[in-house]
Structure 1
């Protein structure tokens, strides 16, 4: 009889142990599910709110849009005015290690183009950033840019074309031209005629949002 009681007690203890383990696993799963997603934005002055009041640029608008849509995410804006693709490439490893983002939005290339830098060099830098993001289990989104026609047809076409080539190569979503609906309207630019006004940034976000929303809802 004592042997039976001992076996019964052991079974009861084993059941409790497995019950506790199960509860801990469920708790960890719930925490992982509820943890906010991290969106890293790596860009230049178009994303760094150059000439704007804080909170009026498209990145800040994106963060507010995510809250409105009840999507639990934090946005890290690592954009710097004047940034080039080489600068972004150099900074990205540390940013990935620090923030461990789920998504990386790459908005770079405009300063390379405005300086007339070689397209293959910019393309190589963007390629490296896309590869880094994917290697670190982050989904990249590439934001494309066009150069003004005064840079010559050959250069502007090669420059614009590199974004599509890279998006296809890395099977990553692409917004072909983030200034669609802005570039052709001089009244939406600051006096330097390079940087959009605050009124233009909701349009920029509207160009990005339809591509970004399916990404953040799919992971």
Structure 2
């Protein structure tokens, strides 16, 4: 028996152990930084177009309350496709007025996954908050499931906290639990390693009074054009592509 022949069983055993060890190692957990690095690397390749799906409720749909103004998905598209010269990027806004997490998750295959997205942006919770404390667990579960499905599809998820509302107006009395729902959004983003666009905190810092907040609201709940521009500004700050000189996101 030659030395090579004697070494073959040892080599096979070593390779088997290495394969077993490799299979036993869990995949690295996603992190906001990892997603951000990946997204910025993708954006640095203008010849490689991305598909962006933006979904949520009436705020994201931009329905009714904006008039001639543009919604934040439209401003994001303007910035990416024109100002950043990514003209072949493809944008879908699949938001529906009145939507809740259960409805979006149930329709996720049609409204999100069939487009084979690279990036999925979700702002939802304004209508879920009407359920109050009793709806919190279901809201969290639905949100987590959507993030999971986005990652399984190989896309980067982005979660938005909502804007605060006009708490002095009786029309918002059904949404007194909105702060708790926004805390859930932040918790889900943190525990799933998802990029968070924190409109809630930004609005409360920039417009701490209800009177000041009304400058960004079209009605007690829905943002006006200025509010949507703030959404777009925070979006690009979160992904590292904000430019104060850009026309699309100029306050």
Q: TM-score range by the shorter chain?
A: 0.7 to 0.9
User: Aligned pairs, how many?
Assistant: 181
Q: Which residue of 1 aligns with 2:74?
A: 60
The structure with the largest alpha-carbon Rg is: 1
Aligned equivalent of 1:111, options 127, 135, 140: 127
Q: Partner of 1:42 in structure 2?
A: 55
Q: Which residue of 2 aligns with 1:172?
A: 194
Q: Structure 1 residues 200, 120: closer, same or farther in 2, change over 3 A?
A: same
| CA positional deviation for 1:95 | 3.1
Equivalent pair of 1:105/1:143 in contact (CA under 8 Å): yes
Partner of residue 127 from structure 1, selected from 126, 129, 144? 144
In structure 1, the partner of 2:216 is 188
Once structures 1 and 2 are overlaid, which stretch shifts more, 193-202 or 175-184? 175-184
Q: Higher relative CO (CA 8 A, sep ≥ 6), structure 1 or 2?
A: 2
- Who is 1:212 aligned against? 239
Q: Which residue of 1 aligns with 2:5?
A: none
- Deviation readout 1:11-48 (Å, 9 max, x if unpaired): xxxxxxxxxxxxxxxxxxxxx98341001001111111
Q: Aligned pair in 2 of structure 1 residues 100, 145: CA closer, same or farther (>3 Å)?
A: same
Structure 1: gaps (5+ residues): 1-31, 215-219
5+ unaligned residues in a row in structure 2: which ranges? 1-44, 168-172, 242-251
Aligned residue for 1:185, secondary structure, equals: helix
Q: Which residue of 1 aligns with 2:156?
A: 139
TM-score normalised per structure 1: 0.72
Structure 1 vs Structure 2 CA RMSD: 2.7
- Partners of 1:44 and 1:79 in 2: CA distance: 5
